């Protein structure tokens, strides 16, 4: 029996955080990761460009034998996953969206959603906030500079300066939950936690994506 192969793509290394969670949940399944450094960062692309990039990446992963595709990027998910499902109707797709729902459950002071600038302006995030957040304020913050810093392995001092600018104390003091709305950011979770302090809970969507992939490969895609 041959298990389904899981294809994953993102611009650069960000989606590795999603792949890590999938491997924890499905350690015996093969993954193929496409680090699309050529088109990094997705947060600076137009919706039309993202659709073309996502379709090209999907074709590549399918040629490599993938049975399921994970769009391991919030921005690409928002702007391209609907188009992918129309173009490739026989392929299961799993997207990534900020963990706004669990944030809305646990937040008592305020929520910061940290993502790319294009993602912050998406209708999807606005809908998630409207649907799942009650009684606390949401601060939607975007930073391409921080995405670049993670992708290009900037040193800790440079990342600290970015965090001081993007997440100043006057903002973090109003919040108790930080949602990582970009798959690059879990890769520096320790630095983020140190910056915002123990009083802020950091959550991302990696585990939820892994659970969805597990459901699909277990119940939807038959073994070959």
CATH number of the domain to which 169 belongs: 3.40.50.1860
Task: Inform me whether the pLDDT recorded for 2 exceeds 80.
Answer: no
Q: Is residue 1 part of a domain?
A: no
pLDDT above 70 coverage of the chain, percent? 97
Say if residue 158 is in the same domain as residue 92. Answer: no
- Name the residue among 102, 33, 34, 39 with its Cα closest to residue 75: 39
Q: Are 109 and 175 in contact (CB under 8 A)?
A: yes
Residue-range definition of the domain harbouring residue 54: 6-96+206-219
Q: Are 46 and 40 in contact (CB under 8 A)?
A: no
Q: Is residue 136 part of a domain?
A: yes
Distance CA 151, CA 154 (A): 8
How many C-alpha atoms does 100 have within 13 Å on its Cβ side? 25
Q: Which of 73, 78, 94, 99 is catalytic?
A: 73
Q: Is residue 24 part of a domain?
A: yes
Task: Inform me whether the pLDDT recorded for 43 exceeds 80.
Answer: yes
Task: Decide if 182 is catalytic.
Answer: yes
- Global pTM reads 0.91
Task: Decide if 73 is catalytic.
Answer: yes
102-141 pLDDT per residue, tens: 999 999 999 999 998 888 888 889 999 999 999 999 999 9
Q: Is residue 170 part of a domain?
A: yes
Q: Which of 13, 53, 113, 182 is catalytic?
A: 182
Say if residue 19 is in the same domain as residue 105. Answer: no
65-102 pLDDT per residue, tens: 999 999 999 999 989 999 999 999 999 999 999 999 99
Mean pLDDT of the chain: 94
Structure-token pair, residue 66: 């993938």
- Name the residue among 78, 76, 74 with its Cα closest to residue 49: 76
């Amino acid at each position: 029996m041959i298990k389904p192969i899981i294809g994953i793509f993102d611009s650069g290394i960000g989606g590795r955080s999603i792949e890590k969670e999938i491997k924890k949940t499905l350690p015996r399944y093969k993954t193929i990761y496409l680090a699309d450094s050529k088109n990094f960062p997705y947060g600076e692309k137009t919706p039309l460009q993202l659709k073309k990039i996502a379709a090209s990446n999907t074709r590549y992963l399918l040629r490599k034998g993938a049975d399921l595709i994970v769009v391991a990027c919030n921005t690409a998910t928002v702007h391209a996953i609907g188009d992918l499902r129309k173009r490739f109707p026989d392929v299961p797709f799993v997207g990534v969206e900020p963990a706004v729902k669990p944030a809305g459950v646990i937040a008592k002071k305020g929520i910061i959603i940290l993502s790319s600038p294009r993602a912050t302006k998406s209708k999807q995030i606005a809908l998630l906030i409207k649907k799942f957040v009650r009684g606390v304020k949401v601060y939607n913050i975007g930073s391409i500079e921080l995405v670049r810093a993670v992708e290009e392995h900037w040193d800790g001092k440079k990342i600290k300066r970015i965090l001081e600018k993007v997440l100043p104390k006057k903002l973090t003091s109003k919040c108790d939950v930080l949602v990582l709305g970009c798959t690059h950011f879990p890769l520096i979770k320790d630095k983020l936690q140190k910056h915002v302090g123990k009083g802020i809970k950091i959550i991302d969507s990696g585990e939820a994506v892994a659970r969805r992939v597990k459901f699909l490969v277990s119940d939807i895609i038959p073994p070959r």
